Every structure is written in C-alpha cells, then in structure tokens.
C-alpha cells in the first residue's frame, strides 16, 4: 500500500500492544507460535469486539423494532447506533444509506436482483474486471441469464493492474452498471476507484465497489468517491462473521424494491396488499444479526482508536519487507506486482503445488491461504492452478514475515530430500 508521508511506521512497542488485544494470537499451532497470515480470508477479533457481543447477549438480548419492553428498546438503540457508527466510518451522508446484510456477497446479490435486474434487457451490458472475486462475478451472471444482458470484462496486465484505457473504451451506451473491487483479494491490486467512478459518472453509469479487502486497510469516503454502492464484510475488518454492509445512495435505495419479504421490512400487511417499510429497513427482512452489528461497530471503534492511516503505513512497511523477502526465495514467482498494492503477497513455486506448501507452512505454525482464493479467472489469467497468499493485518510484524521465510526453507528442504 502507498506510504502516507505524515505518519511514521509504528514502533515495535505499539504493534506488540495491538497484538495483545487479540487473544487468539497467543496460542500455538502444532507446537509452534501461531503466525496468522490469512487476513484476506478473515481477520482475527480484538477482545473489545468479543466483549461487545458477549455483553449484548448477557445484558441486552431481545429483538429489535418490535417490543415495547426495556430490553427490546435497548437492543434497538444499540442496533441503530451501530448503523450510525458505520455510516460515520465510511462517511455516508445518512445512516439510512446503510443496509445490514450477511456480508459482501449478499450485498452484491441484493444490488444485482433489486436494482439491476429490473432495468436491463437483451443487449445491455454489465461491466466488471478480470480480477474479481467470484462474489462479484456470479451474481452478474445470474442477471445476464435472467435478462439477456451481457457480461463484459475489463482486462488486467501482467502485473495485475487494471487496463484503465480499456475500461474507458468499454464504457458504452449499453453499460448499465460497473461493478469492480476496490482492492483485489488475490493480487492485492488497489484499483483507481475514484477515476473509475468519475469516468462512469460522466456517462451516467452507476458504480458498485466491492470493498471487502479495503475497509480495514485504507480510508474509505463514499461521498468523496461518489459511488452508488459500496459493499463490505465485517469479518474482514476485525468484526464478527455473518454481518456486512451495503452502502447505497438514498435515492437508489428509495427506487429499489425489496428483495426478500417477511418481518420488519413491512409497514402493513393484508391479504390484498403489503406496504413496505422505509429505507433501509425494507431491505432487512426477518430478525437481523443484532449482535453482529454491535460487534462490527466495536471493530470500527477499534480501528479508529489506532487510526486507519497508521494502520496503512504499518502494512505498507510489511508489504515492502515481505515482497523483497519472497522475491529472494529460489524458484518462487510473485503473482500480482501492481505499483499500487495492499499488503497481500501471492506467489507460486516452480515445482511445488501451493496446497503442499500451505500444509507444510501450517505445521510450522504459519497460516496462509493456498488455492484459487475464490478468484479462478485470475488464476487462469496467470496460467497457474493456485497461489500461496500471505495477507497482512495491523497485528502482523516483520518477525511474522521472517517466520514465513523460515517455513519456506523447510518446504524446500522437504522436497529436496
């Protein structure tokens, strides 16, 4: 990630303090200290997040928006306070622009089915990129199959950088939405999202940004970006699993029909007619993940207490250190070398499969991701079946990188034996 000049790299004492906030990091795996480098899949949770969920269940547990009793009123207050907290974190104009979902995947599916499906037809185009996660491919394939629209894919170059000139050319009269990741989960590429939105906006095309890999690592300001939709998952931002966020401009949410029916998304129901609730609640059918929303708000409090710019600077240092260390490994090739990158290092070995590497690293106490990372088209683009991915978070250190390199020496030793 780009260095931020006004922030110094946190010293060892600060990072040690951060690590102490995460109980899971104190354990051993296969008799070795845990080195957790699979943050692109999910981040670990600080004690404050765990306590926020525990406190909800211990003292507040009740359903929201339904009861007149004290517990229900208190639960509703905490739940809606979490919505407002998230709105502030990404600088949404109104809390009502925040829809709680299970995660990024559900958020994108919601937009695909509620917003896009009804306004596209045969010959219309949906524009994505060649670096997308399956969650930002398959929902659009559903829409194309349902409507006759066409899926168009913006290419990437050999470094994993989006071809912005091609993107601009591909924006056309039939483009109905652009859906592109802010940061690639497989390559670490940071896309020029401000320019992506600007070019689309000039042609009247709405934009959805997949922010699953961005929210915990870079400053996100949805008003400054002027995107129509922004989606992210709590569990990749030090929050609970099963909770996520769809940000959408209020005007778009007002125009979108609900995509699920049931409790809490209604104002009144008869057998003849149903009147829907106001936004955002008309998109939140059924009992929501109340504890998850409260836990996510606590996670964002934790990020803000450290400072997203401080975190970004620390991770940029780790990225530079890890990239150079991995580059020196024999028979290893980096996959994803874009100039603008987040703290993700993906690589392949010339003669050892990624799954074998991942298994040996695990026995050395080092947790990485080995596979296609739910981005099979990316693997096809680079002609590899899988990569080893080390992805970093605020609690990782250069010592963790050194542990990865030592474990890779063990891999080489085993296969050379």
| pLDDT computed for residue 7 by the predictor | 57
Q: Is residue 230 exposed (0-12), middle (13-18) or buried (19+ Cβ within 10 Å)?
A: buried
Domain 12-46+307-416 class in CATH: alpha beta
Distance CA 413, CA 132 (A): 35
Q: Return the percent helix, strand and coil in the chain, to nearest 5.
A: 45, 20, 40
* DSSP string computed for 47-102: HHHHHHHHHIIIII---SSS--SHHHHHHHHHHHHHHHHHHHHHT-S-GGGEEEES
Residue spans per domain, the chain? 12-46+307-416, 50-304
| pLDDT computed for residue 141 by the predictor | 98
Distance of CA 388 to the CA centre of its chain: 19
What are the catalytic residues?
Answer: 374
In order along the chain (417 residues), what is the average pLDDT of each group of 10 residues?
52 91 97 98 98 98 92 97 98 98 98 97 98 98 98 98 98 98 98 98 98 98 98 98 98 95 85 89 95 98 97 97 97 97 97 97 98 95 97 98 98 85
Q: What is the CA radius of gyration of the chain?
A: 22
Report how far apart, in Å, the C-alpha atoms of 154 and of each of 264, 386, 404, 406, 410 are. 39, 22, 34, 38, 39
Q: Supply the pTM of this predicted model.
A: 0.95
**Closest among 166, 161, 162, 211 to 185, alpha carbons compared:** 211
Could you name the CATH architecture of 50-304? 3-Layer(aba) Sandwich (3.40)
| pLDDT computed for residue 384 by the predictor | 97
């Amino acid at each position: 990630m780009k260095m931020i000049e006004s922030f110094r790299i946190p010293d060892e004492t600060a990072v040690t303090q951060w690590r102490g906030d995460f109980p899971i990091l104190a354990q051993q795996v296969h008799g070795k200290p845990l080195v957790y480098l699979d943050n692109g899949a999910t981040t670990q949770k600080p004690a404050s997040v765990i306590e926020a969920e525990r406190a909800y269940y211990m003292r507040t547990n009740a359903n929201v928006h339904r009861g007149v009793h004290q517990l229900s009123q208190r639960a509703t207050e905490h739940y809606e306070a979490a919505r407002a907290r998230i709105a502030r974190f990404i600088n949404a104009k109104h809390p009502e622009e925040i829809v709680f979902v299970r995660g990024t995947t559900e958020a994108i599916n919601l937009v695909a089915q509620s917003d896009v499906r009804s306004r596209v037809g045969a010959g219309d185009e949906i524009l994505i990129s060649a670096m997308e996660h399956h969650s930002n491919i398959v929902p659009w394939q559903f829409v194309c199959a349902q409507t006759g629209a066409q899926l168009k894919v913006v290419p990437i170059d050999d470094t994993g950088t989006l071809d912005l000139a091609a993107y601009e050319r591909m924006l056309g009269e039939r483009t109905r939405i652009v859906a592109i990741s802010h940061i690639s989960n497989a390559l670490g590429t940071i896309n020029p999202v401000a320019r992506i939105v600007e070019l689309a906006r000039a042609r009247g095309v709405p934009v959805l940004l997949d922010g699953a890999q961005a929210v915990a690592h870079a400053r996100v300001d949805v008003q400054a970006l002027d995107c129509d939709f922004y989606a992210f998952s709590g569990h990749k931002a030090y929050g609970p699993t099963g909770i996520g966020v769809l940000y959408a401009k209020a005007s778009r949410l007002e125009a979108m029909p609900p995509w699920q029916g049931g409790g809490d998304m209604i104002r009144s129901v008869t057998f003849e007619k149903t009147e829907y609730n106001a936004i955002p609640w008309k998109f939140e059918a059924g009992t929501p993940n109340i504890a998850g929303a409260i836990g996510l708000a606590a996670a964002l409090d934790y990020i803000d207490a450290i400072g997203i710019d401080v975190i970004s600077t620390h991770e940029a240092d780790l990225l530079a250190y890890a990239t150079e260390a991995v580059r020196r490994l024999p028979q290893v090739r980096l996959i994803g070398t874009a100039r603008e990158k987040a703290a993700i290092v993906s690589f392949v070995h010339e003669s050892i499969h990624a799954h074998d590497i991942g298994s040996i690293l695990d026995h050395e106490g080092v947790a990485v991701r080995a596979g296609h990372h739910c981005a099979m088209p990316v693997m096809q683009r680079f002609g590899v079946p899988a990569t080893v991915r080390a992805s970093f978070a605020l609690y990782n250190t250069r010592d963790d990188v050194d542990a990865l390199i030592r474990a890779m020496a063990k891999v080489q030793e085993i296969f050379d034996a």
